[in-house]
Structure 1
Amino acid sequence: MRCQPRYEGPVYICLNTVQICLLCDEPADAEMPICVACETDLPWLGEQCSTCALPLAAAGLTCGECLLEPPAFEQVVVPWQYGFPVDSLITRFKHNAKWPFGHLLADVLGQYLQHRFDEGLPRPDALLPVPLAGKRLRQRGFNQAVMLARWLSQSLDLPCEEQVLRRIKETGAQQDLDAKARKHNLRNAFEIMPDAQVQGRHLALVDDVLTTGATAQALARLLMNAGAARVDVYCLARTPKPGA
């Protein structure tokens, strides 16, 4: 049974008329429903690890964990820290089906990624949404990563390939687990679909939030072992190190 909705229409109305900012209800200055002031005040991620995007004190550094155990993915590309109001917007999108918030964040992420491509970040061959556990998909009714990947596919003119990765193991919620427990929780949780084209391709995983990176690492390792040339990770927000 496919629970993923196939809604082809706009999630919010994109007209030539002035949009209303979804965050402050004031007129927006562009086609997207967010004003310049609210966009500027979003928790933009500053100095970060050059690999996993963990917030750091200075630019051009690699965090200790990536130095000790380099991940299978090449780079995490993410615009925001997981802080207000982005955390609230993601929660309302993911848990309350408030799709306009997710679409708005995906649009801004798309602009951010296009800027990075223009600066030299290699464009991937395809976007791969992180698969959701079947039980959680049935409860929620949609996979937020699939919806983000579809919106990014439209704005960046990149294929969204939803039938490459599959979650084959029902795992408990990751939110309350530490890094070690998350890795154990995800052991043998995913597989590559039999007809998927992976060999020699540059692929980008799409998800909403990156916390410890355990899910991204498990999927990237699976893809690299199957012959992928490179795996990147695109997400909306990056959490700081616990206690930071």
Structure 2
Amino acid sequence: MRCQPQSTHQVYIWLKNKQTCLLCDETTDALFPICTGCETDLPWLGDSCERCALPMPMAGLTCGQCQRQPPAFSEVVVPWGYDFPIDSLVTRFKHQAKWPMGRLLAQLLGQALQHRFAEGLARPDCLLPVPLASKRLRQRGYNQAEMLTRWLGTQLDLASDERLLLRVLETPAQQGLDAKARQSNLRKAFAISPGAQIKGKHFAVVDDVLTTGATVNTLSRLLMDGGARRVDIYCLARTPKPQD
């Protein structure tokens, strides 16, 4: 309708940054809709593998899997372990269309990335969401990785491309599969959009949760084989090893 404002225009102007914490419903004057107490209590990821961010007993270690078979990506940036309440927030965002939950998580991930950039992490040339299978996209109505990518791109002033990576083969859901089964499941599932310019570029692939890393490693290998200079992974949460 003509009377509806465009999505790019500012609709509300807040005179005071008073908002409600999405976790405890208490009023907060924090930058994002989460109070300081709840933010502090989030399951922040501690010591982890320097390559894939798998939780480890101490800092500065590389997990056995990354030593035996180095992944195609250079580094994983992830703020939290997949534990309460992050698991609940991700599930509500991903499967129940609770978009404010996802927006909050994206804002906090963006804040963590800004700190890492200030510490010397290389900024990527472009953000790429993990593509969703067409059937699942029709069922859900949206790709949560695509939404995270848009929010991060705006917050970090980074370019994004939602069509560079394509899902060309429908595969069964990855949930519940081990690493070997996931890798087999993903063979030939993805492709690069014809004519895409990737040679010499640094990309960051965006997803919600990293479990075995099979999906993002497949996409990273595809990009590196196509001439990309570097691929990093940005995601919200990291699980421990499935058998743990």
Question: Cα deviation per residue 1:174-193 (whole Å; 9 max; x = unaligned)?
Answer: 00111100000000000000
- Structure 1 stretches of at least 4 aligned residues deviating more than 2 Å after TM superposition: 6-10, 12-17
1:103 counterpart residue number: 103
Aligned partner of residue 127 in structure 2, secondary structure? strand
Aligned equivalents of 2:223 and 2:13: distance in 1?
Answer: 37
Which runs of 5 or more structure 1 residues have no equivalent in the other structure?
1-5
| Number of equivalenced pairs | 239
Which runs of 5 or more structure 2 residues have no equivalent in the other structure?
1-5
Question: Cα deviation per residue 1:36-59 (whole Å; 9 max; x = unaligned)?
Answer: 000000000000000000000000
Report the CA distance between 1:123 and its aligned residue.
Answer: 0.3
Is 2:231 the counterpart of 1:231?
yes
Question: Cα deviation per residue 1:125-181 (whole Å; 9 max; x = unaligned)?
Answer: 000000000000000000000000000001000011111100000010100111100
Q: 1:106 to 1:76 in 2, by over 3 A?
A: same
1:179 counterpart residue number: 179
Counterpart residue identity of residue 102, structure 2 = G
Answer yes or no: is the 8 Å Cα contact 1:52–1:75 preserved in 2: yes
Counterpart residue identity of residue 182, structure 1 = R
Question: Cα deviation per residue 1:92-130 (whole Å; 9 max; x = unaligned)?
Answer: 000000000000000000000000000000000000000
Alignment TM-score, normalising by the size of structure 2: 0.94
Answer yes or no: is the 8 Å Cα contact 1:163–1:196 preserved in 2: no
Aligned partner of residue 65 in structure 1, secondary structure? helix
Aligned equivalents of 1:137 and 1:98: distance in 2?
Answer: 16
Is 2:41 the counterpart of 1:41?
yes
Larger CA Rg, structure 1 vs 2 = 2
Aligned equivalents of 2:138 and 2:72: distance in 1?
Answer: 30
Range with greater deviation from structure 2 (47-56 or 16-25):
16-25
Question: Cα deviation per residue 1:32-79 (whole Å; 9 max; x = unaligned)?
Answer: 100000000000000000000000000000000000000000001000
Identical aligned residues as a percent: 66
1:3 counterpart residue number: none
1:167 counterpart residue number: 167
1:211 counterpart residue number: 211
RMSD: 1.7
Alignment TM-score, normalising by the size of structure 1: 0.94
